[in-house]
Amino acid sequence: MDAYRLHRRFVLLGASAAALTACSKPRPAPSTGRELRMSWWGGSSAHKATLEALRLFEEKHGIRVRGEYTGFAGHLERLTTQIAGGTAPDVMQINWYWQTLFSRDGTGFYDLTKLTDKLDLSQFDARTLGMGTNKGVLNAIAVSNAARLFYLNQTTYQKAGLSLPTTWEELFARGPQFREKLGNGYYPLDGLFLEFIALARNYVVQGTGQPLINAETKSLNCTRADMYDFAGLYARMTREHVWPSAQVRASYGNVAQQEMRPWINGQFAGTFQWNSSIDKYSDTLAGKQTLALAPYLLRPGAKDAGMMYRPAMMFAVNAKTAYPDEAALLIEFLLNDPDGIRAMGLKRGVPVSKAARTLLDKEGLITPIQRQSEAQLATAQINVVESPWFEHPRVRDGFQDILEALGYGRLSEREAGDRLYDDINAILHRVVR
């Protein structure tokens, strides 16, 4: 009996001990084998390139970096949970407007000006650095700046025997032309509601010459008539077969644009997309189809190009990181070091760092389409700086719900315009702080 009891006791204690050791937190890496964590999103080619860059970093500096990477869908949710829970990585790739979520007062991320011995900030111009500064604290460094440009499926347009449009009116004309020459399934341009909202914003701003959102007054910076234009643009583009209707797009279910079958086989023949991530879209095209940069469409008498030119993605450092110097080293490597620059290439758009640009240009690593895009951006008149609140989820969804209702015929054009003006203003009042 005693032997039995003893045996049970030891088994229980042994099992508890094993369980407890399994629960223990991983010990911080000893200083000789330092390990950083870095998170980012992207397509598969971006992942490959980044991992290669991290490998080179480890070779050079002896610091191991653990990469945590996902697609874009859900990345913000994940990062938010990590930040709230105190488990955020040391270096994070963030979107420009996420600064309003995490560091409105500047304390949400590490102050990079404290790390200038490791990070060369002189490679970045003042405007760029400004877009990463909150209440005087430099929270994030832009990897590349980007704007949405018109990228059209060259192959499909050639098949239709049509040239790329150079004005808005020509774009509108392409709609019926596509339908006539290629059939009902073909459209000259496409995108999620998200993309259309950006397009319409550009259109309106070209007219007003002002940012669409005024964070001070917490309201729209335009007139009701401008919102009629906004709604009217959607109505016209879907009516004239320029842009697939809401019903057609919804029939494919909840899918990313570049993964939709009509995009892949060239039927939806264009996208209004960030130049920094255009590779993601050309990657999925089937066969030998190619994308071409189309001329940027301007309204006659446009006061500004209306482009929302802002950091495509930024690197920030965890405010509570245990390795600030190492993190700075990593960012310096990725953005300014020749090996890092070469490894990353153009996977995150054309880098904004002067050193990177010069190097890539010299070594001929900038692809023609990126070169053209940069050239188009360089010559565009971009004075308007949009408020990051434009990309707030509630604001975006506010626009989307109304456009969707318009698309499904629940609202007339005029009603949609009124709703846009009234509802978006109300939303801005509620969410802007």
- The residues in 38-77 that bind other proteins, with binding defined as CB under 8 A, are 77
87 touches other proteins by CB under 8 A? no
Among 69, 97, 228, 252, binds other proteins (CB under 8 A): 252
Among 393, 414, 426, 429, binds other proteins (CB under 8 A): 393
Joined tokens for residue 394: 């509630």
Least distance (Å) between residue 192 CB and other proteins: 10
Cα 305 to its chain centre, rounded Å, is 20
Going by C-alpha positions, the residue among 253, 233, 252 that lies closest to residue 243 is: 233
Q: Let me know the angle formed at the C-alpha of 343 by 342 and 344, rounded to the nearest 5 degrees.
A: 95
25 touches other proteins by CB under 8 A? no
404 touches other proteins by CB under 8 A? yes
Among 7, 10, 12, 361, binds other proteins (CB under 8 A): 12
Contacting range for other proteins; rule: CB under 8 A; set: 32-40, 199-207, 349-357, 389-397: 389-397
Least distance (Å) between residue 182 CB and other proteins: 16
| Dist CA 298 CA 53 (whole Å) | 39
Among 247, 290, 383, 412, binds other proteins (CB under 8 A): 247
CB 279 within 8 A of CB 347: yes
105 touches other proteins by CB under 8 A? no
19 touches other proteins by CB under 8 A? yes
CB 128 within 8 A of CB 122: no
183 touches other proteins by CB under 8 A? no
412 touches other proteins by CB under 8 A? no
| Dist CA 417 CA 227 (whole Å) | 5
CA-based end-to-end distance of the chain: 71
Least distance (Å) between residue 250 CB and other proteins: 4
Joined tokens for residue 275: 């130049």
Burial of residue 417, with CB atoms counted within 10 A of its CB: 0-12 exposed, 13-18 middle, 19 or more buried: buried
Binding-site size, other proteins (CB under 8 A):
32
Contacting range for other proteins; rule: CB under 8 A; set: 38-46, 219-227, 252-260, 365-373: 252-260
User: How many C-beta atoms lie closer than 10 Å to residue 342's C-beta?
Assistant: 17
Going by C-alpha positions, the residue among 409, 390, 411 that lies closest to residue 399 is: 390
Among 17, 255, 286, 426, binds other proteins (CB under 8 A): 255
Least distance (Å) between residue 359 CB and other proteins: 36
Query: What torsion, rounded to 10 degrees, do the Cα atoms 199, 201, 204, 207 define?
Result: -90
Q: Site residues (CB under 8 A) for other proteins?
A: 5, 8-9, 12, 16, 19, 77, 80-81, 83-84, 101-102, 246-255, 261, 393-394, 397, 401, 404-405, 408, 410
